[in-house]
Amino acid sequence: MSVSSPSATSPTSPSASPAAGSAPTQAELLDFVRRTAADAELLAALPLDPEGRTWVRLDGPGGSEAWLIGWPPGTGTGWHDHAESVGAFLTASGELKENALAVRLPTDGWQTLELTAGVDRERRLPAGQGRAFGHHHVHEVLNDSPDRHAISVHAYYPPLPRIRRYSRSGQVLRLEQVERPEDWQ
């Protein structure tokens, strides 16, 4: 898998203006990713790899963490959450699919959960479409196109303290790994 690591000087992107000293809201994060996705020059600067996802860290609004991500055909994140962070993402080009759970899971103290029927949600997010989400949102994001790259913009606040990764078999969700920032930066 090829990864484009953040450079010493992160690319700048359209900045949002949350009130001084306040945390950006989900709406402000969604506005930021929408404006950033419209920056054709920034999108063109992202190196795209035919084999693996690539990413570049961006300066997000109000101290948030933001990323520009390239998705080759057939790639995805696997099931995960962003712990205590709220966030937003938007497809800048191509199309992504999000599978999500419409249920709040316990945050700690479990290894395996049996999900009830009816908790699955699927969203198709073509270019220009995105969404905001709250704390502990469990989802997977996929580029299921057989032949077209996708590019997306993501923002999280507070900056990601951890990402929990899950495996899923039918209605059984299993916590597999907890990643910390040093694992992906």
Domain membership of residue 45 as a residue range: 26-183
- What is the reported pTM? 0.86
- Please write the tens of the pLDDT for every residue from 98-140: 999 998 888 778 899 999 999 999 999 999 999 999 988 999 9
Structural domain contains residue 20: no
Structural domain contains residue 16: no
- Could you give the dihedral angle defined by the CA atoms of residues 88, 22, 81 and 142, in that order, rounded to the nearest 10 degrees? 20
pLDDT tier for residue 55 given thresholds of 50, 70 and 90: very high
Residue 17 corresponds to which tokens in the numbers above?
Answer: 């203006």
Structural domain contains residue 30: yes
Query: What spatial distance separates the first Cα and last Cα of the chain, rounded to whole Å?
Result: 15
Dist CA 70 CA 149 (whole Å): 7
Structural domain contains residue 147: yes
Domains held by the chain: number: 1
Residue 5 has pLDDT above 60, yes or no: no
The answer to whether residues 88 and 146 touch, using CB atoms and an 8 Å cutoff, is no
pLDDT tier for residue 181 given thresholds of 50, 70 and 90: confident
pLDDT of residue 18: 56
State what percent of residues in the chain have pLDDT above 90.
78
- Please write the tens of the pLDDT for every residue from 159-171: 999 999 999 999 9
CATH number at residue 65: 2.60.120.10
